[in-house]
Structure 1
Amino acid sequence: MIKFLLRTAVIAIAGLTFLVSSLSAFKPETLYRSQVAVLMYHHIHDTDQSGATITTELFRSQLSYLKGRGYHFISLQEFKDFMNGAAVPDNAVLVTFDDGYEGFYQNAYPVLTKLNIPAVNFIITGTLDHPLDGNIPFLNRDEIRTMTLHSPGIEVQCHTDSLHGKTEGDQGKALLVARLPKDGRTETEDEYKKRIVDDTRACTGRLKDLTPHQVDAMAYPYGIYNPLAASLVKEGGIQYAFTILPRMATQGMDPLRIPRINAGSPYITPLALHNMIMRRVTAPRPAKSMVGLRDTLEQVGGELTKDKADGSTVIHYNGIQWKVRPGSQEAVSGERVLTLDKPVTIVGSRSYILLEDLEKLLGIDISSDPHTRLYTARLPDASDSDAEGRKGQR
């Protein structure tokens, strides 16, 4: 009997040792690396309803599901470091909110602190003096101080001071990019530039008194921006600006055009959010890779034709035309001639070009999707149309 008990104990200990060693060896799946899924939310509320409002339970379920799948949530400071060359954990996610609604303090903040997840809320600082005047209550100063002082991972940043709006009329333009009427005329370029810089400085200045963090980031209202507006908010103190273009954030990307994935719709289940991220993961491509010229060009919005006069292949993209010949390293556009690193080659009936050469000709960066194996062009320089800010995004 004693031998039986000893044998049973030995087997139990061995089994427990195997279980502990197996659990310690478990590592979450690497879904992606060296990039960040920046998630965008607006309003967390259990009775309000809109296309940009989700319940507390859905918010909790989304974040809990992502944590269970091995996603790693990072702070805004970690994201800034990443944009400046530092590494981030595999499956990195940054949680962001727009508008500074009070529902963030009442409903989202408790979930974030319980799950130990950092987040940043982009505040319309013009609401701070009268936070209860809007259709939806906004955060007040005491709520902001409480969160940012007691929870180091919670930050507030800019969503402009008084430029979160559009001009009047059916074709109203975002105030950040519009030229406004003034004294019976349209404001001059100098007046426009001063308005944007002054508003940006007002926004950063009002937040600096409420948070221990550096205030140097902004979310463009409605996601609408253009190169001039981006340069002006930078002059006003902004180093990192976020859009609503749904892609992954990668190093080398313009820090004033950071993409985000909308997670704040009531129709986005936890699994759907995971799948949305996976569809946008950018795969690192092998150096010096040859790609199908026609397929890749068409995927980024170009066209390939043949010149009937001389039989050369013609690349059309964004009003530019380049002529190339198989076996040649020269590309010609009018009087301009570029030397390719490798000649265009023909295999069967298909033309192939070095991807780096195609980027050089088109003047764009090209990335690939590891799941669909499709190619996409880099983020656009401007997004100053209502189409970019549709679907109720604020």
Structure 2
Amino acid sequence: MIKKLGITLLLSLIGITLLISPLRAQRTGQIDYQDQVAVLMYHHVHETDTSSSTITPALLQEQLQYLLGKGYHFITLSEFHAYMNGASVPPNAALVTFDDGYQSFYTTAYPILKSLRVPAVNFVITSDLADPLASYIPSMSKEQIVDMQQHTNFIDVGCHTDDLHHKLPNGQAALTGRLETNGKQESEDAYKQRILTDITACKSKLDALTKEPIDTMAYPYGINDDLSAELVGQAGIRYAFTITPDMATRSADPLRIPRINAGSPNITPALLLRSIQRRVLAQPGSAPLRVDAAAAAEQLGGSAAAEGGALQLRLKGQAFTLQVNAAEAARGDARVMLREPVLREHGRVTIALDDLQALIGLPLVYTPATGKVAERVTPSVQ
């Protein structure tokens, strides 16, 4: 009798688990942070080359797979831009960046990124495009950049200057230092024109190879000052990355966005995760993003109707019922648990964005400034 009772209880628990599992299945991994982005920095990926900024293909793949397994969401450069302008990003959002435009990105890193559907941006030194194999470490060719643009929707390029990735004889960075000719230092006007000309040239060369306008760069060596950042902005760059190891948030200066180094050979997957977690910014009292449920359903191609004090949604071939003040929702005949209760706010029925996307099984992006909800573009290979 006791054995039969135990079996009955076990089957009941399994039934309850199956009832709520469709929602929870969308939430794997721990949420380390929300509404901020870990921008990761890499340089060279090679099987045998060694340096403090070179990692093996195996380590790159292990790092990315480890973060994916921990519930991290890799976003595209355009999604990062949208975030900086108010749009939402998934929990544990990360942006992968590479500096210098090395050929190893195309031959070695790109196949890994493509297989894992991990977006990335590479900041290119465009003077190297004239003779890609002449540089100390071979660089990507124009044809290779175009090939990546044509066959994916998640690989981007940005500026790393045209010909300012070097140090001057006095040890200053070419971007911030002043040239000296015959013992005479260049004038401020000449300096400003030199920087503007270089960044404009970098943008122009890359614009000819890409679908999207080039408005993003990384500072050589991460070095910048107030004037150089101002000149970069004048040249048409809206977002510029440093090597300051912090999380990126909307409060950051868009021309001085921090990045966390991931591209050294001693950075194991677990160490990279801890490095990110140590830099997460505390957000005391922050509330989850909430959206107008009816408006969101219509923006996503569905419909909404109020019936008997509840909100009925029809979306993506499924029917949902949201009851105000309830921390669960009906999906067909099943009931699923929500992390946050459905609320009525200012005459609108609202649901947490995380709950909505888990309920319908689609990644969503929300822009508070416009109130728009849309499906997050899935990285794809053509």
The TM-score, its normalising length taken from structure 2, stands at 0.69
Letter in 2 for 1:207: L
In the aligned structure 2, how far is the partner of 1:277 from the partner of 1:160?
A: 28
After superposition, residues 1-394 of structure 1 pair within 5 angstroms as 18=17, 22=21, 24-26=23-25, 27-28=27-28, 29-169=30-170, 172-182=171-181, 184-286=183-285
Instruction: Show CA shifts across 1:260-292 (max 9, x none).
Output: 0000000000000000000000011359xxxxx
Letter in 2 for 1:47: T
1:140 CA displacement? 0.3
In the aligned structure 1, how far is the partner of 2:19 from the partner of 2:112?
A: 30
In the aligned structure 2, how far is the partner of 1:35 from the partner of 1:135?
A: 36
1:21 CA displacement? 5.1
In the aligned structure 2, how far is the partner of 1:208 from the partner of 1:20?
A: 51
Instruction: Show CA shifts across 1:272-314 (max 9, x none).
Output: 0000000000011359xxxxxxxxxxxxxxxxxxxxxxxxxxx
Letter in 2 for 1:117: V
1:22 CA displacement? 3.0
Match of 2:375 in 1: none
In the aligned structure 2, how far is the partner of 1:272 from the partner of 1:90?
A: 20
In the aligned structure 2, how far is the partner of 1:121 from the partner of 1:45?
A: 16
Letter in 2 for 1:279: R
1:96 CA displacement? 0.1
Letter in 1 for 2:90: P
What stretches of structure 1 of length at least 5 have no aligned partner?
1-7, 288-394
In the aligned structure 1, how far is the partner of 2:251 from the partner of 2:269?
A: 30
The number of residue pairs the alignment matches comes to: 276
Letter in 1 for 2:206: L
1:35 CA displacement? 0.2
Gap change, CA 1:113 and 1:282, over 3 Å in 2: same
1:13 CA displacement? 12
Letter in 2 for 1:97: F
Match of 1:373 in 2: none
Instruction: Show CA shifts across 1:80-134 (max 9, x none).
Output: 1111111111100000000000000011000111111110000000000010011
Secondary structure, in 3 states, of the residue corresponding to 1:114? helix
Letter in 1 for 2:251: G
In the aligned structure 2, how far is the partner of 1:236 from the partner of 1:134?
A: 26
Letter in 1 for 2:145: I
1:253 CA displacement? 1.4
In the aligned structure 2, how far is the partner of 1:225 from the partner of 1:69?
A: 34
Letter in 1 for 2:139: F
Q: Please identify the structure whose Cα radius of gyration is greater.
A: 1
Letter in 2 for 1:193: K
In the aligned structure 2, how far is the partner of 1:279 from the partner of 1:15?
A: 38
In the aligned structure 2, how far is the partner of 1:14 from the partner of 1:189?
A: 74
Structure 1 moving runs of 4+ over 4 Å: 11-21
1:19 CA displacement? 5.2
In the aligned structure 1, how far is the partner of 2:172 from the partner of 2:240?
A: 19
Letter in 2 for 1:254: D
1:12 CA displacement? 9.2
1:18 CA displacement? 4.6
Letter in 1 for 2:213: Q
In the aligned structure 1, how far is the partner of 2:123 from the partner of 2:71?
A: 27
1:20 CA displacement? 8.1
Sequence identity (%): 52
In the aligned structure 1, how far is the partner of 2:108 from the partner of 2:163?
A: 26
Gap change, CA 1:128 and 1:282, over 3 Å in 2: same
In the aligned structure 2, how far is the partner of 1:154 from the partner of 1:20?
A: 39
What stretches of structure 2 of length at least 5 have no aligned partner?
1-6, 287-382
Secondary structure, in 3 states, of the residue corresponding to 1:155? strand
In the aligned structure 1, how far is the partner of 2:111 from the partner of 2:19?
A: 32
The TM-score, its normalising length taken from structure 1, stands at 0.67
RMSD: 2.0
In the aligned structure 2, how far is the partner of 1:145 from the partner of 1:253?
A: 31
Higher relative contact order (CA 8 A, sep 6+): 2
Gap change, CA 1:110 and 1:17, over 3 Å in 2: farther
Secondary structure, in 3 states, of the residue corresponding to 2:276? helix
1:182 CA displacement? 3.0
In the aligned structure 2, how far is the partner of 1:164 from the partner of 1:107?
A: 23
